[in-house]
Amino acid sequence: MSRIPIIAANWKMYKTGEEAQKFFQELYQRLPEPTVMVFIAPSFTALLPCAIAAEEMSYLLGAQNMHGADEGAFTGEVSANMIREVGASFVIIGHSERRRLFHESDEIIHQKMKKAFSADLLPLLCIGETIEEREAGKTMAVLEKQLKIALGTCPPADLVIAYEPVWAIGTGKTATPAIAEEAHAFCRLLLGELWGKESAEKTPILYGGSVTPETASELAKQPNIDGALVGGASLDVEKFLKIIEGFTP
Ligand code: PGA
């Protein structure tokens, strides 16, 4: 991977296929040739309509989740091959909403990471501490545990990490650039211990948690912040474009 800024949209359970296509058309009209990498993760059912709409576009499509097994009796789940088939090339793994609301453990996340690597899907791994963990001085220990278990013994490969403090997601409380930079630098250090310095230097580490047009450019100035994973503000073309602008070198 290279560290060209990545601005990734996580649409969560918003936008139907039709609404998603409209967004793509509008975005493409305004930004046909982005100089940053634009990643978009719509809902599973909007992936195919988005792939059709984005055929000529340079944006990368991804899923917000997947199962760690190839196939099986897992009602309601979707496999890596299924999401690849409809045009996804990356997958968000370990988002805090999956961890918290759907009880995904670090071990489950590790299974998914292994599957993403073997299925040739680029994993966008989310890690981050809760407010209680931060206040107890456990932020770095939490990041270390989540990253180490998620990667396990996987050999170095293309990967994107998103540092997303849980207390900043959907709350309007963006981490200050200094707080985010400290966590990002630590994640890069950890990755260096696991995968070597060369891999650590080329792995993009995105910040996520209430990124807005107002906070983007200050975050972008930090040496270890290589882009953003954006939820709420990515649903609006105007705001998303301004965030992209904030990260454009
Ligand atoms: P937010 O979500 O930008 O709405 O805080 C970020 C995320 O959940 O990835």
- pLDDT tens-digit map of 17-29: 999 999 999 999 9
Tell me what pLDDT residue 65 has.
98
Provide CB contacts within 8 A for 140, sequence distance 6+: 183, 186
Q: Is 164 a catalytic residue?
A: yes
- Using the mean position of ligand 1's atoms as its centre, give its distance from the Cα of residue 72 in Å: 31
* Nearest residue (CA) to ligand 1, atom 3: 231
Separation between Cα atoms, residue 17 and residue 1, nearest integer Å: 30
Residue type, 210: S
Closest CA to 41 of 63, 19, 65: 63
Separation between Cα atoms, residue 125 and residue 117, nearest integer Å: 12
Q: Is 67 a catalytic residue?
A: no
Tell me what pLDDT residue 54 has.
84
- Using the mean position of ligand 1's atoms as its centre, give its distance from the Cα of residue 209 in Å: 5
Ligand 1 site residues, Cβ closer than 6 angstroms: 10, 164, 169-170, 208-211, 229-233
Query: What length is written for the chain?
Result: 249
4, HSE (Cβ side, Cα atoms, 13 Å): 8
Q: Which two tokens stand for residue 90?
A: 């990356």
**Helix residue ranges, H only, the chain:** 17-30, 44-53, 80-85, 96-101, 106-118, 131-135, 139-151, 177-195, 197-202, 213-220, 237-247
Which of 211, 212, 242 best tests ligand 1's pocket when mutated (most atoms within 8 Å of CB)?
211
Which of 95, 229, 234, 235 best tests ligand 1's pocket when mutated (most atoms within 8 Å of CB)?
229
One of 97, 129, 164, 181 is an active-site residue; which one?
164
188 contacts 228 by C-beta, under 8 angstroms: no
What DSSP string runs through 179-214?
HHHHHHHHHHHHHHHHH-HHHHHHS-EEEESS--HH
Q: Any idea what the Cα angle at residue 159 is, between residues 154 and 161, rounded to 5°?
A: 110
The conformation of residue 221, written as its DSSP 8-state character, comes to T
Tens of pLDDT along the chain (249 residues)? 789 999 999 999 999 999 999 999 999 999 989 999 999 999 999 999 999 888 888 899 999 999 999 999 999 999 999 999 999 999 999 999 999 999 999 999 999 999 999 999 999 999 999 999 999 999 999 999 999 999 999 999 999 999 999 999 999 999 999 999 999 999 999 999 999 999 999 999 999 999 999 999 999 999 999 999 999 999 999 999 999 999 998
List pLDDT tens digits, range 117-158: 999 999 999 999 999 999 999 999 999 999 999 999 999 999
- Using the mean position of ligand 1's atoms as its centre, give its distance from the Cα of residue 161 in Å: 14
Separation between Cα atoms, residue 246 and residue 241, nearest integer Å: 9
Closest CA to 65 of 17, 106, 116, 14: 116
- Using the mean position of ligand 1's atoms as its centre, give its distance from the Cα of residue 73 in Å: 31
